[in-house]
Every structure is written in C-alpha cells, then in structure tokens.
Amino acid sequence: MGEVLTEQEKLGARNEQAVKPLVFAYYVTGHGLGHATRVIEVARHLCGAGHEVHVVTVAPEYVFRRDIPSPKLHIRKVLLDCGAVQSDALTVDCLGSLEQYSRTAVVNRTALLAVEVEWLRSIKANLVVSDIVPIACKAAAQVGIPSVCVSNFSWDFIYSEYVTVAGNDHRSIVWQIAEDYSHALFVIRLPGYCPMPAFRDVIDVPMIVRKVHRSRHQVRKDLGISEKVKVLLFNFGGQDARWSLKEEYIPQGWLCLVCGAPAEQQLASNFIRVDRDSYMPDLIAASDCMLGKIGYGTVSETLSCNTPLVFVRRDHFNEEPFLRKMLEFNRGGVEMNRRDFLSGRWVPYLERALVIRPSFSGPVNGGEVAACLLEDAAHGKAYTIEPESGSRRLRDAIVFGFQMQRHPGREIDIPDWYMPTAICPGLGPVPRSHDSKGILQDAASNELGLEFEILEGSLHGLSDTASFLRSLARLDNEGDVQASDRASKPREREWLAAAGIFRWEDDIYVSRAPGRLDVMGGIADYSGSLVLQLPIKEACHVAVQRSPPGKQRLWKHTMARQLATGQGLTPVVCIVSFGSDLSNRAPTFDMDLADLFDSEGEPIAYDVANKYFDQDASQKWAAYVAGTLLVLMRELGVRFHDSISILISSAVPEGKGVSSSAALEVATMTAIAAAHGLTISPRDLAILCQKVENHVVGAPCGVMDQMASACGEANKLLAMVCQPAEVKEHVNIPHHVQFWGIDSGIRHSVGGADYGSVRVGTFMGRRIIQGTASKLANSFMEAREEADDVELALSTEDAEEEYLCNIPPHRLESGYEAVLPTSLSGERFLEMFSSHNDPFTKIKPDRIYDVKVPAAHPIYENFRVKAFATLLTAVHTDMQLEALGELMYQSHYSYSKCRLGSHGTDRLVSLVKQTRNQAYTKATSLFGAKITGGGSGGTVCVLGRTGATSQNQILQIQQQYKSATGHLPFIFEGSSMGAGQFGFLRIRRWSSKTMS
C-alpha cells in the first residue's frame, strides 16, 4: 500500500516545490534587439526568484549582463531562426527572408533538433520559453517537457505574406512553423499583438517594458543639455553611413541625440552622437520626442514614458500595423512619409509631435506577470484547454496572405482597442429625399446642418453613394485636427487628413465604379477570349476637386516642401484613402505635379513613373490613382495646371479577386475627367485605366476588369471579346439563375509570381504555335498540292494569329498539342525565339516555365465561355443549369492544372459540390462553382437557382468553411451599374442657413 501523507506533509511538499529552483531554457529569435530587451525583463524576474535561466540567442551578451548581474543567468550563442532579412533600413527582403530561414532552420532541421534535444536534457530544463523561435517548441516536445511562447506575433503570420509576395515555393515553411508552435502549451500574448492562429491557447499580460534608471534631469545633466532645449532622440537601426544629418533637418534651437550612427557618418553641430550601447529607456524619458521605426521595444518604451514617436513605415514589416494602431490609440505617434524622411524635411512632423499628448496609462509590469506564469507552467499548473489533434489545432488557419486584408464580415482575434472602421465609413441604408433643386437631404446631414447641392448628375437611388456624401459632410466636424487633440479619443489619421484637402465653397466631382465578379473567362482575357463579367454591388467612390495652387488647402508638410523650393506654390496632388488600416498602407500621399514631368517639360516615361511609385511600399497604392494623371497626359495630351485633391472610399475588398484595383482606377479617372471637362467613352476610359495598371503599377493584367467596372450594367453579364476590348452585348441573366461570390480569405494578386509565370508560359506557347504553323505553311507551299490549300490558309492564319483564343480546340489537338513542351526554361526559349512578344512580362532565363497547360487553357476556356453564353439563352431546365455548372467546374480545374488554384478555393468548390450531392434527392439548387480572376486565391463564383433554398445553402457553405479554416467568408451578392452608366456628380456643400 502507498504511504498516506498528512495534511501538514502535503503543505510542506507544496512549499518545497514553490521554492525549488527551476531551470528555464529561454530561446530568443535572431530578429533585432527588441526581443532581447523584453526577454531581459522576464529573465530578470526569474533569476531574482532564484531560478536558472539559460538564454539561447545571437544578441550581444552585454545586453543581458548589464541588466541581470546574476550567476543564475547563462548565455548560449546559437542561431535557430533568422527573422526578417532587410535589404535596407526600411525594406524587408521577402524572398531573402524565406530563403535564409530555409538555410537556417529547414535544411539542417534534423541536426538542429538533435543538438537542442541533447542540450535540453543536459541542463535538465523544466520549461522551454520561446520568443519566438519555432523549432524550440518542437525540441521541447521531443524531450517531453512543456514549452510556452512569449510574443506579440508569430513567424507563421509574418511569413505568410512573404509567401504571397515572393511566390509559393516556400509555402511549406509556414506550415512547418505553425506545426512547431502548436506544441506549445500556450502563448503569453503581449499588447499590440498580431493574429497567432497556430497556438492552442493564449494568456494576455501587460506591456513588458524596461524600467527607467535615471531621471530626465540627470540624463540631460550628464549630456550637458539644458532643460529648456527641445531634444529629439534619433534611433534608426541600419543607418547608412552615407546619410548626412544636416542642421536644417530639425527645428532651430533643437538638439538631436543620434544612436548607433556609423563612425564615418557626417553629423551637423546640432546632432550629438551617443554610444551604441546607451540605455535606451533613459534616453527616451529625457527626450521630447523620438524619431525611429516601429517595433515592440520602441513602441512599448515610448508609450510607457509618454514620449511621442515620429515613425517611418517599413515595407512588409507585418507586425507594424498592430503596434501602430496601439500607438495611435494612445495618441503617441506621428507618421512621417519616407520621401520627407530621406530628404530631411522633418520639421513639420517634429513640431506636430510636440502638440499631441500621449495618454498611455496602462500597467507595464508584464515582465513580472509573465515570469509568474512561466513558473506556474514549469510546476505543471494547467492554464490550457484540453490538447487537440494537430489537424484540429491547425484547421487550415494559416490563410496565406496578409490577414489585415479583410472586410467588415471578417472574424479575427484582435485586441479590443483595434477597431478599424469599415472601408466606407457610415456605409448602410440612408433615408433620403430630394427637392426640386436636386438637394440631397438625410437625417445625418440635417443633424450636422450641412448639405450638398447636386449641380449635375444623379444618385440613381444608390444608398452607398448617399452614404459617401454623408461621410463628406462629416469631415469638418470629425476631422478637425485641433478638436481631435482635445478629444478624449483621437480621430483616425485618414479623417484628419481628409478634412484638410477640400475647399467646401467650391465644386467637388464624385464618381462611382464597382468591382466585378468573373463568371467565365478569367485569365483567358490576355489571350483574346470572350469573357462574361458581372459588376458587383460593392463599389469605389472618388471625390476630386481642382484648385489654383494658391487656393488649395495643403497639409503642413506639403506646404513646407513647397516653400523650401523658393519658387512659391506650384500645383500639388493630395490623395487620401479611407480604409488604409485594412491593407496596411499609408492613408495619404502627396506629390508635386512637376514630379510627373522630365527635365524637358514632357510627361515622364512609364518605367520612370513605376520606379517613382515603387520607392515606398506603403504608398505604392498611389500609383493606381496618380498614375491616371500620367496616362491622360501621355495618351491624350492633357495638361494639368491646377492642384488636385482626391479622396477615395472603396467598399470593394482588396485581394479578393473582385478587381478592387480596376474599380479604383476607373473611379479616379472618371472623376478627374469630369473635373477637367474631358469626355471619354467608357470603353476608351477602361483601356486607359489598363495602361495605368500595366505601365505605371507594373501589373500584367488583361483589360476585362476595367471594362466590367466602366461598361457594366446592373444585373447583366458584360460579354466582351478582349481583342483588345470589344463589348459584344449585355447578357440578361435569366430570372431563375443567380450568381454569388464567396471569398476564400486567401489573398490574390495579379502581380504575384504564379499569375505572371502562367502568362509567360501562355505567350511562350503562342510563339511556339506560330513558329510551328509557319513551318507547316512553308511545307504546304513547297509541296504546291491543291488538296492542301485549306490547310495552307489555316496554317498561314495561325502563324500570324495574335490571339491564342482564335485557334479552335480541334486545331490545337490536331496540329500543335504534340509540339508544345510540357515545360521549358527561359534560357532555352530565348535561344529559340528571342522574345515571347508580351510587353507586360519578362522571361527569366534561369526559370522553368510550364507551357503546354497554360497555352491550352485559353483555347479551351474561350470555347467554354461561348458555350456558357449560348446556354444562358436555352430552355429553363435543370439540364441547362447542370450544363452551365459543368462548364464552370471544367474552368476551375483547368486553373488548377495551370497551378493557379489554392487550397481555400478548392475547398469552397468542393463544398458546393457536396451541398449539391447532399440535396440531390430533394431539390438541387447549386449547380457549379469556379475560381475567379487571376487565381491563386481570391473569390469563388457560384451558380445556383434563384430562391431561398440556394441562399440557405450558400450560408451553410459559409459556416462550413469557417468551421474548417477559421475564416468567415464574405459573400458577394447583388449587382450595380458601371461607372459609365453612373456618370458623375458635381456637388457643392452648403449650410442650413443658406437653405433657409
């Protein structure tokens, strides 16, 4: 029998356990010192409690020893992950990061795991702690000890966008990282956190912040700086030694403390170099504001000291939007655009930093709280939910693509303070009426005492347009900068910026352009196919106002730039985009109109414009907007002499494959044309907008998206032949037929590697077919046989054929299929043909391209689209719907053969098929589904019978997909008119006093 312990003995055993020293193995990611600084606070408390802490890191040892002078701390130098590799101080190299992680933690994974397992056993670790090294959790699982992560982000989330940007070759990395994390008991989640779907459970703690050691007065005294002097702390990792910090960069009378400046970097007399290892919290507390990049350490320490942070965005730094939102929520941040930072135009931003009043008052004892949680976990205290199977834990939750790309229906685990507004603020039904003068009146505008007189155009009964006008009416009231400074809660930066660009006493031009649902045709558009496109209900609104340079309302930094030239005020383009937080882009962009001209006064070349807008990823979106100006100048000879203010509010979700970019281009060009008295047909406008995307943005898309947005009609399919852009007809959708779009949650981009490589392979195939046809024609001519006249004519046509879609399937199968290689290297193709004759893509010699399948796809797709259009006019039977659905399924699987499918879209198509099979004995209602647009994610188009049964089945699929992936799909339902049919509104704001 076992010995029975008394209550006193049990109590003694628990006390002994509580004081027994533990051994912690604390792994620190190789990305930046910010992780090391927060690890210090947790490790300091663990060592202070008498525990042994072994820190596994590549950070300098002094960083830890300075704050933890304890024999209980041990440092082991090992690199187990690489974090994000940066090509410069502001740019993350996405492909380089994935490749480096592969070399660091994938190629040698077996050996690395073996070493870590042996080491963990040798130190007799009680708990593995990871910030946020994936392989550490796996090693702990193999040893049989628990692991806990401490972080505000995880690498599966960070790398997921890198995969979409750099191509899918490294997709397995994301899944492997997620699997590693799934072994952790839980994650101790820090404020400003990103979604971390791979973890089974989370425990939130306060901010982990290093304490200030010396007072503001003492630090300034040691540096010889008076209390009256304004001090800027400049801490910018990765500074280029060629950066010359000049006196005029900061306001007169200020001093700037420069951390980590290279010895050879030139500093003006008002810049003071401080030691690289200076204790940052003391310097932050002693400064009036800080200029740097957003990272957890910087944000947490500036907030805890209530020191304003002037920040510059980094490209592809995916934790940034969450930290930035926390910073702005506490009124602690001022954003500086990259161009002004690099050119030294800092003064307006620094002066703004002194006006805002940081208001953070939350607890900063996260280090102590985390240490207690880790002690409990090492002792075996159960904080977690019941363990689940790996398939359930992962449940396809890693949705590839930046998860900030969402819509109002997206459910995601984000902080309470992170409350991004809907893309179109105030969107929803609006009670409205019109008097004889065409004056819009609604409840919200009456309350504000502000109305718009519609001088030209019509609302067409569109509630989203009325809502957009309401948002304009709210700008002065809710977007006042000074009022926001005094308010209990700060306003969104985009609202503040928008309030400062319009002169309300003058005319404003408003346009509207919808997104589109690709019913049939898709990527065959660039091969000349017939396509069928449905304009959707969601649309982009753009408001434009032109102003003489002296009258335009300018932002302070724009005014400062203008005055610095000494030439007075010249035309400026100012752009504000609502919903910027939804896609992690800067909400504003401004440029001098002169930037669109070369030294000879001519509009700059398209490749020059592409490089201009490509300088800053967070503002690259402006190429879609400002690019319309350049295209109008180059293609139509238009000259713009006034300043232009542009406000954008789009309800077309980005990255969903429903042409958000085309809607933006078409709406922008329509409004600009209206404001300048230009008359452009919808078709011509669509072609011009395609030039914006192809030449200025640099995305090799076809023209169907812009045509659908510009020329579409509500509840009709736009049937057009892309040779180059000819509208055949507007096809009535039979009353018994309905289309839906279901978003897979996987980000789609026509600029992505897969779309581009498929297009290259398609044009390679066309060139090979042309060459083969030319040889056949020559052989027939040499034979001079009368019986071959037909074949001679056909071969001659094929040799000169510009569009693959004009070759019928039987010609492909009888004459060319056998000569098309399955794949071909770029180098070999260029040796054979020198060019594939596609002006929008480039062949990479070292890449292997699929050829046979991409070349065949548009030929068969064109046939399918023609059959689909014909079937729509057939007798209304189930056989008709089944045939239409079969064509959609064929199209979907043809995409998959082209490697343009995705696990999310395949799952949705499968769910549609399952729903139909389950209902087959009852009422078959959904008949077909296919991936849309450029593929590789995005939206699935579903065909069904009109009625409640189909609607219920669509909702059922939505919930099934959420259960399987954790993503609640957005459902696109309904249609609206294109930009050409809408026209434009010319409006002017007026007050209730004027009305009376």
Dist CA 57 CA 78 (whole Å): 6
> Residue 35: phi, psi to the nearest 5?
-70, -40
Other Cβ atoms within 10 Å of 955 Cβ, number:
11
DSSP conformation letters of 149-166: EEES--HHHHHHHHHHHH
Phi-psi region of 581 (alpha: psi -120 to 50; beta: other; left: phi over 0): alpha
Q: Among candidates 619, 631, 637, 752, which has minimal Cα distance to 692?
A: 631
SS3 assignment, position 415: coil
- DSSP assigned state of 984: -
| Nearest-10 Cα torsion for 895, 900, 903, 908 | -40
Dist CA 708 CA 977 (whole Å): 10
Contacts for 342 with CB less than 8 Å, ≥ 6 apart: none
Amino acid at 674: A
DSSP conformation letters of 63-86: HHHTT---TTEEEEE--------E
Amino acid at 768: I
- DSSP assigned state of 804: G
The Cα-based distances of 152 to 190, 191, 196, 300, 771 in angstroms read 5, 7, 9, 11, 57
The secondary structure element, H or E, covering residue 625 is helix 622-636
Dist CA 759 CA 353 (whole Å): 48
Q: Among candidates 522, 410, 405, 409, which has minimal Cα distance to 936?
A: 522
- DSSP assigned state of 908: H
Q: Is 616 a catalytic residue?
A: no
Q: By the 8 A CB rule, do 467 and 428 touch?
A: yes
Report residue 902 as tokens.
Answer: 């995705």
Decide the pairing of beta strands 231-235 and 255-259. Answer: parallel
Other Cβ atoms within 10 Å of 253 Cβ, number:
9
SS3 assignment, position 650: strand
Q: Among candidates 47, 45, 41, which has minimal Cα distance to 74?
A: 47
Q: Among candidates 136, 84, 77, 130, which has minimal Cα distance to 112?
A: 136
Q: Among candidates 429, 471, 539, 431, which has minimal Cα distance to 974?
A: 539
* Active-site hit among 81, 156, 315, 705: 705
Contacts for 650 with CB less than 8 Å, ≥ 6 apart: 423, 424, 539, 540, 541, 577, 578, 579, 660, 663, 664, 667
The Cα-based distances of 84 to 95, 376, 442, 463, 753 in angstroms read 10, 32, 50, 44, 20
Dist CA 45 CA 441 (whole Å): 62
CA Rg value for the chain: 31
Q: Among candidates 859, 866, 861, which has minimal Cα distance to 804?
A: 859
SS3 assignment, position 255: strand
Dist CA 591 CA 562 (whole Å): 10
Active-site amino acid positions: 705
